[in-house]
Amino acid sequence: MKQASAAIQEGQPISMAMDQADLTTPVALRMLRVGERSGKIGDMMERIAAFYDDELSRWIDWFTRLFEPILMLFIGLVIGVVVLLLYMPILNLQETYNERATNCRKSRAKYSEVAVLIGAAQFRQAKIQAQLQQRRVLEVLEEITGETQEQYLQALCQTLHFSAIEMKEIMLYLRLLR
């Protein structure tokens, strides 16, 4: 600016002084030259100012139109992140609950399997004991003969808590042996 002011004081035209100091654009330079030639430099300066005011308004309007959607997108992203961060603990609780429920179901299934295996083992053991008791009864009955055998068999079955079906099976077996 000082350089342009010094050049104007030396008598150089305003357009040349502004161009040498790089204080003007090509459009403004042409308008200054026209104003110097026509003698209406003041009017041309006002036109240059109006032109650049309009251009500045266009740039501001363009920037605002571009910036508003970008700003809205940014605000939407920030709100989305905040909402997501608020729901993350709730989602983690649900995930933890689901994991524990799955583990509980697996544990129950394992306990059920163990209970079935224990029940099957107890059943086998009871069946083996019943078979052993039946064998003992049969061994004793083989030694006894006649009516005393049947009476003894009934008393023994009642003592050992055999069912009526088991008693009948033993009686049939004895008859087959005879």
Nearest Cα neighbor of 35 from 54, 51, 22 is 51
Concatenate the DSSP letters of all residues of 51-111 into one string.
HHHHHHHHHHHHHHHHHHHHHHHHHHHHHHHHHHHHHHHHHHHHHHHHHHHHHHHHHHHHH
Question: For the chain, which residues make up each domain, given as ranges?
Answer: 2-86, 122-177
The torsion angles phi and psi of 163, rounded to 5 degrees, stand at -80, 170
Please determine, for residue 75, whether its predicted confidence score (pLDDT) is greater than 80.
yes
- For 84-120, what is each residue's pLDDT tens digit? 888 887 777 777 777 877 777 777 777 777 677 777 7
Indicate the pLDDT class of residue 146, thresholds 50, 70 and 90. Answer: low
What is the Cα Rg of the chain in Å? 56
How far apart, in whole angstroms, are the C-alpha atoms of residue 45 and residue 53? 12
Indicate the pLDDT class of residue 25, thresholds 50, 70 and 90. Answer: confident
How far apart, in whole angstroms, are the C-alpha atoms of residue 55 and residue 49? 10
Nearest Cα neighbor of 175 from 151, 152, 145, 155 is 145
How far apart, in whole angstroms, are the C-alpha atoms of residue 60 and residue 75? 21
How far apart, in whole angstroms, are the C-alpha atoms of residue 87 and residue 83? 6
Percent of the chain with pLDDT over 70: 80
Please determine, for residue 147, whether its predicted confidence score (pLDDT) is greater than 60.
no
Instruction: Calculate mean pLDDT across residues 24-30.
Output: 85
| Mean of all residue pLDDT scores within the chain | 79
